[in-house]
Chains A and B, each alone.
Chain A
């Protein structure tokens, strides 16, 4: 096996064309990365395909048809709805996700391990279940703030996960130095802790923005119209793929704006530690008198984000009510959902590695463009992506792979690829290249350095990537309906079948199992963190671990 992490050797004299180097280091290393570039290129092509389809379809219909559809009062209103909602949700998620991650990762919050799992699970709850739960409790729940609430509690884990991973790996020495230099606790938090997690926060915020742009199910139930609900309407009533694609283009433009904004805020800084020795496990802050307040805050978050949908599902299961639909296999559907989502998670994570490594280790403009262009796909509605893959397999592969598990898995991996890239990228950014160089200098073969040094360093990021893609895939519906193998049902498609027939009590178990399945990767993720070498070694050093560590 060829290594993807070579020792940074001087540029070979073979004279591969070198783009103007940003720094001597970059220039020297870049041409030696054919495998990374190949991997990144392949992934990008798969991700770009739906965008190509989008362009071809939109322009195929002709400007004279698109113009009256695009330039009218409804578009302006939808644009306003979409943009204002996205901005508000991003801000709320950034704050809630970061603060929660800090409390869970850095303080002696009682029941830390349980919280670490509970705060991630909302991501695995289908938005349509959440909206449905809220409406079951408050019948007139709807409109802008309802949409803000439902989206915020559903997607803040997108910020929480990368930030938690970043806080886990961050060297506490910087905070200690800041404190010793006289900075207050809050100021240290703002300038050092948040500073260290900046990449993760920004990355998460962009994901939140893109996910909100492409959200459909929740807004439809809440009666809040956005560009995406309009896109589905166009597909649904107009029989017009082209008009739907035209509206999708507006979304892509918004996505580009979002990414550009993040790029500007992100700057060029890298966060790896350069000090000697091993990074220590951060010593958790005692909460002291703030404990009840913090506990009730996190508790409220979990109650709102988890309690409402879970409560609604349980209520519906208990309340009963007949169904005229024939029974279907819950276990079978659960197995399918689990298998498809797990493969999608693995595929997306592995495919994200080359791009993430390239973009951090060889940050040139072209690499950056490559990485950024992969992000756009998250803002494209699932139906458009599904139809794009329908088109390409049917027209260029004569139907090969169409409506097979493989294409469904690939589609999920493509749809949620940005989630994997951001997670892996943040992890790579925080893993010091120096450790790999030490490995090389000790004579360890390149591939062994990758397995033994690089991978453990970025392990949490990979786990986060897997979990994010897994969770989103498990709850995906619109692309699944187009691409799932015929006669094979998933939890989401079965839920949809029952729910759209008023059989709420029959739909509820599917939502329940979906939430249970979503809990698995969240739990694994939480546990993985605790087994990291750094933590287990140091856990004995600074004193007894908090008593709550034995809870699980």
Chain B
């Protein structure tokens, strides 16, 4: 029995680990380092971080998780939060933290990079990129001419068993908010219930799954943000794509623009470096990285444009504003009433 040796090894290793942990993160005496909580896609974030580090010499330590989990985590961490900057895919998580008073104001010079309608109205976070909701459809299951022109039509019984729905996907909430704004809560609830019935067993956790299931021919169509389709094409190759995307009629309630943004935690002790990072995200260099990245989001600042998909200025989304999208609380309530959440 080697148990005493084992125990001694255990004790000493645990002590060593504890000492290392207590010693804190690797020393970076000479340079500043900031911690980024990113709910954004990994490749976009990594490309931006690498360029920023090269340019400024500031080290960025990045954590990735679901943006909504980060909201819970940051609130639970409280004033000792290690997070300095929070970078998201959607505006509601940032709005939520701003509402709770956890974000600092973004420097006016950074806000000036972006059209004001894509920033927080109170200047607590800055818009970085944008996506738009579209129909993704399987080309062998449905013809382009048969597609609905409005999200409202999806409630029609003719779509029974043909549509996929991701009620728990954060990207879906803006559409619900948009429907409720145009038609009222009661009509939005009826619409959601009909959608749920039409989706049947095709209720999925997220947009990635919808794009994938539609592409594999499991279901005819679904609503996703345009870039999921492009991203899947980048990953699996154009020859494996059996789906396409289509836009709703101009200004339809289902044609919603989502903004991805970034904000600075009030609790951060590196406010100056944090501001530099936000300035970089919205700078010409940062926006060009987004414009050329495989994440297929639209750059929205410093006059940079995206190539390879419908030009941003030709999109004709619904007129709903960032402020009207808010924290998404109303949409969540409707989704809960429809028993989708």
B121 is an interface residue with CB less than 8 A from chain A: no
Known: A72-B336, A321-B235, A322-B234. 7 other contacts (CB 8 A): A73-B339, A233-B341, A238-B341, A324-B295, A481-B63, A481-B69, A502-B236
- A236's partner among B13, B17, B68, B216 (CB-CB below 8 A) is B68
Q: Does A404 contact B (CB under 8 A)?
A: yes
Q: A394-B77, A501-B42, A501-B235 are in contact. Are A405 and B20 (CB under 8 A)?
A: yes
Nearest chain A residue, comparing its CB with the CB of B338: A74
B339 touching A451 by the CB < 8 A rule? no
- Report A-chain residues with C-beta under 8 Å of the C-beta of B81: 394
Residue of A nearest to B293 (CB): A324
Q: Among A40-48, A84-92, A112-120, A138-146, which stretch is in contact with chain B?
A: A138-146
Size bin of chain B's contact surface: 35 or more
Hey, what's the 0/1 contact readout for A58-74 against B, CB within 8 Å counting as 1? 00000000000100111
Q: Determine if B235 and A503 form an interchain contact, defined as CB atoms under 8 angstroms apart.
A: yes
Give the contacting residue for B170; candidates A77, A236, A324, A394; CB below 8 A: A236
Q: Mark B246-280, 1 if CB is under 8 A from A, else 0.
A: 00000000000000000000000000000000000
Q: Give the A-B pair count, Cβ closer than 8 A.
A: 156
- Residues of chain B in range 1-51 having any CB-CB distance to chain A below 8 Å: 1, 3-4, 7, 10, 13-14, 17-18, 20-22, 25, 35, 41-43, 46
The answer on a CB contact under 8 Å between B68 and A451 is no
Q: A394-B77, A395-B78, A501-B43 are in contact. Are A324 and B235 (CB under 8 A)?
A: yes
Query: B220 → chain A, closest Cβ, in Å?
Result: 14
The interface residues of chain A lying within 8 Å CB-to-CB of B46 are: 325-326
Question: B77 to chain A: which residues have CB within 8 Å?
Answer: 390, 394, 399, 402
Q: Is B185 an interface residue (CB 8 A)?
A: no
Q: Which of B111-119, B148-156, B202-210 contacts A (4 or more CB under 8 A)?
A: B202-210
- Going nearest first, the 4 A-B pairs with the smallest beta carbon separation are A324-B294, A404-B21, A502-B235, A399-B80
**Which residues of chain B are within 8 angstroms of A332 by Cβ–Cβ distance?**
none
Assess whether A540 is interfacial by the CB under 8 Å rule: no
* A239 adjacent to B17 (CB under 8 Å): no
Q: Looking at the complex, which of A342-350, A367-375, A425-433, A435-443 is the stretch in contact with chain B?
A: A342-350
Compute how far the CA of A239 lies from the CA of B94 in the bound complex, rounded to whole angstroms. Answer: 11
Q: Which of A322, A390, A401, A459 contacts B73 (CB 8 A)?
A: A390
Flag whether A28 is at the interface (Cβ < 8 A). Answer: no
Q: With an 8 A cutoff between CB atoms, is A403 at the interface?
A: yes
Contact residues in B for A485 (Cβ distance below 8 Å):
25
Give residues in A with beta carbon < 8 Å to B.
69, 72-74, 77, 139-140, 142-143, 220-221, 223, 230, 233-239, 241, 244, 321-326, 343, 346-347, 350, 383, 387, 390-391, 394-395, 398-407, 409, 451-452, 455-456, 459, 481-482, 484-487, 493, 497, 500-504
Whether A383 and B17, one on each chain, are in contact in the complex, defined by CB atoms closer than 8 angstroms, is no
Residues of B within 8 A of A77 (CB): 339
Q: Are A241 and B294 in contact (CB under 8 A)?
A: no
* Beta-carbon contact of A486 and B76 below 8 Å: no
B80→A398 contact, CB < 8 A: yes
**A481 to B293 alpha-carbon distance, docked (Å):** 25
User: Pick the contact of A486 from B3, B20, B63, B170 — CB < 8 Å?
Assistant: B63
Cross-chain contact B327 with A239 (CB below 8 angstroms): yes
B62: Cβ under 8 A from any A Cβ: yes
Taking chain B's interface residues, is the majority helix, strand, or loop, or is none over half, making it mixed? helix
16 pairs across A/B with beta carbons < 8 Å? A139-B216, A221-B205, A223-B204, A236-B170, A237-B168, A239-B71, A241-B76, A321-B236, A325-B46, A326-B43, A347-B14, A399-B77, A402-B82, A451-B4, A482-B65, A502-B232
Q: Which residue from B4, B64, B231 sits with its C-beta under 8 Å from A502?
A: B231
B91 → A minimal CB distance (Å)? 13
Q: Are A455 and B341 interface neighbours, CB within 8 A?
A: no
Q: How many whole Å from A39's CB to the nearest CB in chain B?
A: 14
**B interface residue numbers (CB < 8 A to A):** 1, 3-4, 7, 10, 13-14, 17-18, 20-22, 25, 35, 41-43, 46, 61-66, 68-69, 71-73, 75-78, 80-82, 93, 96, 168, 170, 173, 201, 203-205, 208, 212, 216-218, 231-232, 234-237, 293-295, 327-328, 332, 335-336, 339, 341
Q: A237-B168, A486-B63, A487-B62 are in contact. Are A394 and B14 (CB under 8 A)?
A: no
Q: State A545–B81 Cα separation when bound (angstroms).
A: 61
Contact of B14 among A324, A343, A486 (CB under 8 A): A343
Residues of A near B71 (CB, < 8 A) are 239
Taking CB atoms, residues of chain A closer than 8 Å to B173 are 237
Judge whether A343 and B13 touch: CB under 8 Å.
yes
Contact partner of A350 (CB less than 8 A), chosen from B10, B73, B332, B339, is: B10
- Decide: A239 and B72 in contact? CB cutoff 8 A: yes
> How distant is A478 from chain B, measured CB to nearest CB, in Å?
8
Q: Which residues of B have CB within 8 Å of A322?
A: 234-235, 237
Known pairs A324-B235, A387-B76; A139 contacts B218 (CB<8 A):
yes
With the chains together, A383 CA to B20 CA distance in Å?
25
Bound state CA distance, A235 and B66, in angstroms?
10
Q: In the docked arrangement, what's the CA distance between A47 and B173, Å?
A: 37
CB-contact partner of B72 in A223, A387, A484, under 8 A: A387
Could you tell me the distance between the alpha carbons of A545 and B236 in the complex, rounded to whole angstroms? 53
Q: Are A69 and B35 in contact (CB under 8 A)?
A: no
A502 touches B43 (CB 8 A): no
- Residues of B near A451 (CB, < 8 A) are 1, 3-4
A501 engages B80 (CB within 8 Å): no
Residues of B within 8 A of A391 (CB): 76
Q: Which of A77, A394, A402, A504 has the most CB of B within 10 A?
A: A394
Say yes or no: A406-B82 contact (C-beta < 8 A), given A383-B69, A501-B235. no
